[in-house]
Amino acid sequence: MSPIPPAIELRQLTKRLPSGDRMLTILDHVDLAIAPGEFVAILGPSGSGKSTLLGLAAGLDRPTSGEVRIDGVEIQDLSEDALARLRRAKVGFVFQAFQLLSNMTALENVLLPLELKGAPHPIARARALLDRVGLTERGHHYPAQLSGGEQQRVALARAFAPQPRILFADEPTGNLDGTTGARILDVLDELRAADQVTLVLVTHDASIAERADRRIYLRDGRVERVESR
Amino acid sequence: MTGRAYFRHLAREARGARGRILFFVLCLAVGVGAVVAVAGFSSSLRTTLAREARQLLAADVKVRGQKPLPPAIDELLAADPSLRSTRITELVTVASAPLVPLAPITAGAAAAIRTQGAGAGRSQLVELKAIDGDFPFYGTLTLSPSRPLAELLAGGGAVAAPELLTRLSLRLGDSLSIGGKLFTLRGVVTAEPDRLGNAFALGPRLFLSGESLRSTGLIALGSRVGYRLLVRLPDGAAPAAATALATRLREALADPAFYRIETAAEGQPELRRGVDRTERFLGLVALLSLIVGSVGIAQTVRAWLASRLDSIAVFKALGARPREILSLYLGQIVLLALAGSLSGVALGLGLEHLVPAIAGPLLPVQPEIAFEPLAILRGLALGVGLALLFALPPLLAAIAVPAARVLRREIEPLPPSRIALVVTGLCLGLGLVAVASFQARSLRLGAAFAGGLLLTAALLALAARGLIVGVRRLPRLRLPLPLRYGLAALGRPGAPTVASVVALGLGALVVVGMRTVEVGLTSRLASDLPTAAPTAFLIDIQPDQWAAVRAEIDRAGATSVDSVPVVMARLKVIDGKVVEDLAESRDKERARGAERESDDEEESGQRGRWALTREQRLTFLDKLPSDNTLTSGKLWSEPGVAEVSVEEEYARDLGLKIGSKIEFDVQGVPVELTVTSLRKVRWESFGINFFWVVEPGVLDRAPQMRIASVRMPSGGEQKLQDALAASTPNVTVFAIREVLEKVSAVLDRIAFGVRFLGGFTVLAGLAILAGAVAAGAAQRSREAALGKALGMTRFQVAALFATESAIIGLLAGAIGAIAGTVLAAAVLEKGMDIPYRFAPGAPLVAIGLTAALAALVGLAASARALMQRPLEALRAE
């Protein structure tokens, strides 16, 4: 029996971007493996490459060199369509700026990935998820009519809707006050635990990172150190 | 994604985009409306021509020619008693109200003895139609009193159009002198089935019986007479019977090339060809407004998708494939394009009803406006096709936004590669050629139109950019606030000013250009006659009448008189080829070339046939008039050869060159001539000119008549015509001014029609401007709020916005007016040989109107921003 592959594996991952007439190295030969069901926090100062790492690991962006494997499958050379299918099947996202679609209601936002996936009974499932994040009564509201915490809870419901294997969260509490942020993390934890989801979370906040199984510190595009609980 | 989910998405995407949807629909509807109106009306006109062909022909079969029908035709008709036939003789002549009451030619016309009143001695050109038999066989001749025509015409009766009664102050029962004979006016005709359009009529209609006409002696040698034969088949005869009869008639004619035989089943092919040609031209003018509207669509789609970049990135992050996102937005665009095109169809169907009012007497028949599914399909296809063509580039660009934008908002869609830009440009160019060719039904015309349009748009864009840069650099610190604001707005980064200016400018170009050509043409025709040009022509003067006519001319006060002999002849042989065969082969060529690309070729073919078979008028002169220039060969240079000099374009139509041998039939006598020179004629001098000038000595003793041109003091033409109507009634006087007035009235209507359609391009341009203004609604709201917060009144804020749009309109109007004037000047000078003189009226009005309309549209599109409370707008920040 072959061993279970890491949920995410990064090998010599490098990202360079043009800046004026020279190339700027954002990520520099990063190696990392994240086990299925693991909760990893990525920390580091601004400009250390946290969000870039997240984007590359999630297949939202393409590396300059190196490999990204999700469930053992190399993804850096996949076509746009194949990447989209992969995200649809396995990956969920939560963003700092919520990224809800403003012309859709809360329910419709949660419905969207289910519809993309062609999931059965999408409306019932979307309602159930809104229920789980405590927004049963707010399904018909547009994002502009919701508070920041409520918007992020809708984003969580949307992220978990297609039952992803991996969830990427980019500063999910960055735009929220401490109390609201803590509540969001509670909901995130609860959903993650119930579905056994691998979580990669980018944050500045050491107290949030405390909840993670492993903390990876980045500086200048390199892994500075790794701490485990 | 399932179908239901897809449509749910479509519905969600449409939310909150009411303004954008409105502009999208508006941009498309205006152009589609123009296209559908042109296509639908032409189609209705063609349908009416085809359906009422029998009424329009007034018969099942009609034969027409410029010489009498041979006896063989009589024999053919007599042999088949089931056929009914009528002969018609047509000519333009002069009718007059007699000066003194003469004895009427019938005893029954006692009323004619009465001395006639105010009109006595006055004369008028008439289009005389003399009938031998029943008329019409089909269709309605509206007469008052309502009696059969033959009954009214019997025994020296005449029936005239009401205008003749008015002009000669006649009443029913009065006498009327034609060709020196008196007839009694017995009825008034108000409608004829086979008189197609009135625009080109030289005078009111007058009916006589054939016998009456023959009694006048008007049909002298050389008179311009048209001979017609109408035949009616027995009731219930199959259309094939008409074709068979036409074939038999053609066989019975000794020289069929000199006649035209039409059957009702053909449904007025010449007229329908004319309708086709007009439709193609007007269709392209309409297409221009649709293309301008499509530029607006590209803008609307770009603005719409710019606001959707975040959504597209989120879609991608959630696993939507680019193709799914593309199909989602494409579906939206197709639905909007359908909505816009359908609104355009509704507009076009309404517009169709306006066409008769605009075209008036230019129309050969008043068509019954019918529901024309093909015209509607054409509008829908062009509308949706162009919308997609122009929406695709911004759509493809937006789809390229990377999913990573969800992490960093500043990530924009990747700039398209050079190859992508070239491919997009090619698609757009080829697409334009395709739609223009579809509309013009000719690849060559379509390509020329698309090429010309792209070039013009590029030049306008260049001019707009230059002007904007110039205006932006103007020192504006000391200008009043609205002006300063408007000028600053021109240079705002990302402001869609160039597109608005180009679109509006194209509209102004069409309107100003058309108006300038129209003014140049009509002023040339109406008032710019050369100072020494004759004011009237006298035709059909018999040689023995010339002395008397000349005396009348002098008595009427003519300041200059010119007169030449005219010999009537027919072409028989050109370079060994019989003319009938040449005409037939041209007919075949034309039938083969029905799908031929070029209108010019077809027209030249038709002209060639006409040139071959017409009654030829020859003159003989020792030396050429001053408005003739030899372009090749030498005049009267070969002793022993009977020479002829031919006008060069006419020679081209006939296929003649120097050395060509021609045989004419001059009243039964063959005359052989050799072409030894070609001439260019300056027709616009209005001097007496001929296609054929023969060496003196060849035709001197041939039967001939004279034609004269005279220059008269104002009003002298009528006096001369009145005098000649009494003394030599077969002589017809054409007052040039009157003819020119008719021509210019026709031109006015055509030009108005084109300007009317061109106006749609202006409308489309305004819709674009409105779209551009509304696209910046958020910024506008903020600006309005800030202005108000700083203490500006709503009126002052409105003035800011209106000035900004007015400046765009001003620039567009100026660029369009200048380009239109330059283009029109080139058309006049190069295409029509008419010297162009600058008239500031049309360009200035166009500039002013464009600016005013733009200001209004700008204000309307900013209304929401103006109405919003400052706090709301600032909070939204």
- Per-residue CA distances from B276 to A174, B111, B433, B594 (Å): 69, 50, 20, 12
State CA B594 to chain mean position distance: 21
pLDDT at B4 over 80: no
Pairing of strands B536-541, B732-735: antiparallel
Reported as a single tens digit per residue, the pLDDT across B707-729 is 999 988 877 888 888 888 888 88
Whether A112 and B318 lie within 8 Å, measured CB to CB: yes
Using 50, 70 and 90 to split pLDDT, how confident is the model at A154? Answer: very high
Map residue B10 onto helix, strand or coil: helix
Q: List CB contacts (< 8 A) between B324 and chain A.
A: 84, 116
pLDDT at B152 over 90: yes
pLDDT (0 to 100) of residue B763:
80
Q: What is the mean pLDDT of residues B93-120?
A: 58
More confident call, B522 vs B799:
B799
Cβ-based neighbour number of residue A214 at 10 Å? 17
Reported as a single tens digit per residue, the pLDDT across B421-479 is 788 888 888 988 998 888 888 888 888 888 888 888 888 888 888 877 887 777 776 77
More confident call, B287 vs B751:
B287
Taking the CA of residue A1 and the nearest CA in chain B, the distance in Å comes to 32
* Separation between Cα atoms, residue A128 and residue A114, nearest integer Å: 13
Q: What is the mean pLDDT of residues B90-94?
A: 89
pLDDT (0 to 100) of residue B338:
94
pLDDT (0 to 100) of residue B51:
78
pLDDT (0 to 100) of residue A155:
92
pLDDT at B104 over 60: no
Q: Among B2, B16, B323, whose Cβ lies nearest the Cβ of A103?
A: B16
Q: What is the mean pLDDT of residues B301-324?
A: 85
Average pLDDT value for chain B: 82
Best interface-test mutation with B: which of A17, A56, A115, A170 has the largest number of B CBs within 10 A?
A115
Taking the CA of residue B15 and the nearest CA in chain A, the distance in Å comes to 6
Share of chain B above pLDDT 90, in %: 18
pLDDT at B109 over 50: no
pLDDT (0 to 100) of residue B311:
85
Q: What is the mean pLDDT of residues B276-285?
A: 82
Taking the CA of residue B873 and the nearest CA in chain A, the distance in Å comes to 15
Reported as a single tens digit per residue, the pLDDT across B494-509 is 566 787 788 788 888 8
Best interface-test mutation with A: which of B10, B401, B407 has the largest number of A CBs within 10 A?
B407
CB contact burial B764-784 (16+ within 10 A = b; e otherwise): bbbbbbbbbbbbbbeebbbbb
What does the block give as tokens for B478? 């000391």
For residue B451, which amino acid is it?
G
The B residues from 6 to 65 touching A (CB cutoff 8 Å) are 8-9, 12-13, 15-16
The B residues from 58 to 97 touching A (CB cutoff 8 Å) are none
Q: Among B12, B15, B319, whose Cβ lies nearest the Cβ of A88?
A: B319
pLDDT (0 to 100) of residue B111:
43
Q: What angle do CA A32, A36, A42 make, to 5 degrees?
A: 45
Using 50, 70 and 90 to split pLDDT, how confident is the model at B573? Answer: very high
**Residue of chain B nearest A79, judged by CA positions:** B321
Lowest-confidence pick of B58-67, B79-88, B107-116:
B107-116
Reported as a single tens digit per residue, the pLDDT across A18-38 is 877 888 899 999 999 999 999
- Is A141 an 8 Å CB contact of chain B? no
* Separation between Cα atoms, residue B472 and residue B489, nearest integer Å: 9
pLDDT at B382 over 50: yes
Q: What are phi and psi of B257, to 5 degrees?
A: -65, -20
Q: Among A54, A86, A101, whose Cβ lies nearest the Cβ of B407?
A: A54
Reported as a single tens digit per residue, the pLDDT across A102-128 is 767 898 889 888 887 888 888 899 999
pLDDT (0 to 100) of residue B558:
86
More confident call, B264 vs A40:
A40
ipTM value for the complex: 0.74
pLDDT (0 to 100) of residue A66:
95
Whether B318 and A87 lie within 8 Å, measured CB to CB: yes
Taking the CA of residue A129 and the nearest CA in chain B, the distance in Å comes to 17
For residue B143, which amino acid is it?
L
pLDDT at B661 over 90: yes
Asked whether B651 and B619 are in contact (CB, 8 A), the reply is no
Taking the CA of residue B319 and the nearest CA in chain A, the distance in Å comes to 4
- Is B408 an 8 Å CB contact of chain A? yes
Average pLDDT value for chain A: 88
Give the number of A-B residue pairs with CB atoms closer than 8 Å.
86
Q: What is the pTM of this model?
A: 0.70
CA atoms B450, B454, B457, B463: torsion sign: negative
Query: What one-character-per-residue DSSP string does B205-223 give?
Result: EEEEEHHHHHHHT-S-TT-
Q: Among B9, B15, B406, whose Cβ lies nearest the Cβ of A60?
A: B406
Whether A85 and B16 lie within 8 Å, measured CB to CB: no
Q: Among B2, B320, B404, whose Cβ lies nearest the Cβ of A61?
A: B404
CB contact burial B86-112 (16+ within 10 A = b; e otherwise): bbbbbbbbbbbbbeeeeebbeeebeeb
More confident call, B492 vs A38:
A38
Q: List CB contacts (< 8 A) between B396 and chain A.
A: none
* Separation between Cα atoms, residue B209 and residue B86, nearest integer Å: 11
Q: In which region does residue A71 sit, left (phi positive, over 0), alpha (psi from -120 to 50) or beta (all else)?
A: left
Reported as a single tens digit per residue, the pLDDT across B582-631 is 887 777 776 665 444 445 555 556 666 777 888 888 999 998 988 899 99
Listed in order, strand segments (DSSP E) in B704-816 are 705-711, 732-735
Using 50, 70 and 90 to split pLDDT, how confident is the model at B787? Answer: low
Q: What is the mean pLDDT of residues B816-827?
A: 86
Please choose, from the candidates B183, B31, B30, B160, the residue with its C-alpha nearest in 3D space to the C-alpha of residue B103. B183
Whether B317 and A93 lie within 8 Å, measured CB to CB: yes
- Is A207 an 8 Å CB contact of chain B? no
pLDDT at B105 over 50: no
Highest mean pLDDT among B15-19, B39-43, B611-615, B747-751: B39-43
pLDDT (0 to 100) of residue B113:
42
What does the block give as tokens for B721? 């015509």
pLDDT (0 to 100) of residue A194:
85
